[in-house]
């Protein structure tokens, strides 16, 4: 038992040491959105998003990635919809040759015309600090279920 605890402690220290070698990253992004309400008779809304993500290294391939995005969408028959999304991703990064695949999953909060929360997911590719990915936000409140799908592009800066 004592040997197992020592092995776990050593692994934890090695993981923390490798994560400390990596810097925190800031990634400004821009993109397009599609809000798809699930109620019949409503049309989808198209718009744009602008925001930033912060990547905090936990291990060599695993990051905590909170962010904030401003989404603005418009529909022909109604007013503009402005939302502030705050996702918090658990991010796994898989390097393959010259690119890095990113797989992100986590909760989000929404502020704006209404308040909401739900689950968000993102998959994308990183190449030479450039990122391109697709994301989806799904509400969890049954009365107001809708989904937001989008495409975003960003550039990664390291913060020391």
Residue 151 in domain: yes
Residue 141 in tokens: 């409140």
Residue 94 in domain: yes
Residue 84 in tokens: 């502030």
* pTM of the predicted structure, to 2 decimals: 0.78
**pLDDT value at position 83?**
86
DSSP state of 13: H
Domain harbouring 123, CATH code: 2.40.160.20
Q: Identify the sign of the CA torsion 109, 139, 37, 47.
A: positive
Residue 16 in domain: no
Residue 3 in domain: no
Tens digit of pLDDT at every position of the chain (160 positions): 455 445 544 544 444 444 456 789 999 999 999 877 655 556 667 889 999 999 999 999 999 999 999 988 876 666 677 889 999 999 999 999 999 999 999 999 988 767 888 999 999 999 999 999 999 988 887 666 578 899 999 999 988 7
- Number of structural domains (the chain) is 1
Neighbours of 115 (CB within 10 A): 9
Residue 55: give the domain boundaries: 23-159
Using CB atoms within 10 Å of the CB of residue 98, give its burial: 0 to 12 exposed, 13 to 18 middle, 19+ buried. Answer: exposed
From the list 88, 93, 92, 50, the residue with the least C-alpha distance to 67 is: 88
| Secondary structure (3-state) at 1 | coil
From the list 29, 28, 24, the residue with the least C-alpha distance to 56 is: 24
């Amino acid at each position: 038992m004592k040997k197992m605890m020592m092995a776990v402690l050593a692994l934890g220290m090695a993981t923390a040491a490798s994560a400390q070698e990596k810097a925190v990253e800031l990634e400004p992004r821009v993109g397009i959105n599609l809000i798809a309400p699930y109620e019949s008779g409503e049309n989808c809304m198209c718009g744009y998003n602008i925001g930033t993500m912060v990547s905090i290294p936990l291990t060599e391939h695993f990051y905590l990635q909170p962010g904030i995005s401003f989404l603005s969408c418009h529909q022909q028959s109604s007013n503009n919809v402005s939302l502030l999304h705050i996702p918090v991703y658990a991010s796994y990064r898989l390097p393959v040759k010259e690119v890095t695949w990113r797989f992100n999953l986590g909760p989000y909060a929404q502020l704006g015309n209404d308040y909401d929360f739900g689950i968000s997911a993102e998959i994308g590719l990183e190449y030479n600090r450039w990122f391109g990915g697709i994301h989806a936000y799904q509400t969890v409140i049954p009365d107001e279920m809708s989904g937001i799908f989008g495409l975003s592009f960003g550039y990664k800066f390291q913060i020391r």
